Structure 1
Amino acid sequence: MRYLTTLLSCLLSLFGCQDKVTSTSITRISEQGIDQLFSRTSVRAESASFDCVRSASGRCYYQVFKETCDGQQRCERGMLQAFDIRAGHTQKREGLPQGFRTCVSSSASVPCQ
């Protein structure tokens, strides 16, 4: 009976759900102990969830881009999307290309690096 249970467990695990890999990055900028920017971005396959936790300006300014580099380590950024989110809110973006990157700033006039 124990062998049957083990065999069934192995077979059932083959049909189990496997969640896609998620990468989460946290950007936190503080000045004199006070958060100027606190943002969390979770990337999964071709979508991303942008969470503007706190921002001194009241908004987080995001850029989504695709970076291409030549053989001599010169890279160019191709802007895909630029948007802002009010502090305390989250926004999900779908249909992003494979290998996209993101950056965030607390000001529209200060570009992401």
Structure 2
Amino acid sequence: MHELLALLTFALSLFGVQLGGTSYSHHMRDGATVLHSEAWADAGQARFECVESSSGRCHYRLLPPDCAASACQRHPLREFDVAEGNTRALVGLPEFTLDVSPFAPR
């Protein structure tokens, strides 16, 4: 039953329906650099939407929740990008802190 509820919640999230969880919203407009990203996470699943980016892609890094040191910045839990106007959904995620940028990390 628990798995069915998780599957239903995930399916609804693909259509923009959110039931609880954590929402992330990133907006940046600094001259020529633009970033608008929306994300939602709950119970090991997450959806990432790249609304607008000056590079044409939003670059996501999922970091451990207690990440404050540069060492964990170099070793993220997951790293991926999403094209502007697209959404990516992931399941089976541990807890994370979200870092998003219009440019790929160095």
**Matched length:** 86
Superposition deviation, residue 31 in structure 1 = 2.1
Counterpart of 1:108 in structure 2 is 104
Higher strand proportion (structure 1 or 2): 1
| 1:77-96 paired onto structure 2 within 5 Å | 77=72, 78-96=75-93
RMSD: 2.3
Question: Measured at CA, do residues 26 and 35 of structure 1 come closer, stay the same or move farther in structure 2, by a change above 3 Å?
Answer: farther
| 1:33-112 paired onto structure 2 within 5 Å | 36-68=34-66, 75=69, 77=72, 78-97=75-94, 99-109=95-105
Helix, strand or coil at the partner of 2:60 = strand
Distance in 1 between residues matched to 2:83 and 2:56, nearest whole Å: 6
Counterpart of 2:23 in structure 1 is 24
Percent of paired sites with the same residue: 30
Helix, strand or coil at the partner of 2:64 = strand
Query: Which runs of 4 or more aligned residues in structure 1 lie more than 3 Å from their structure 2 counterparts after TM superposition?
Result: none
Higher helix proportion (structure 1 or 2): 2
Distance in 2 between residues matched to 1:68 and 1:24, nearest whole Å: 18
Could you list the runs of 5+ residues in structure 1 that have no partner in the other structure?
A: 1-18
Could you list the runs of 5+ residues in structure 2 that have no partner in the other structure?
A: 1-17
Superposition deviation, residue 35 in structure 1 = 6.7
Helix, strand or coil at the partner of 2:104 = coil
State which structure, 1 or 2, has the greater radius of gyration over its C-alpha atoms: 1
Q: Contact 1:20–1:45 (CA<8 Å) still a contact in 2?
A: no
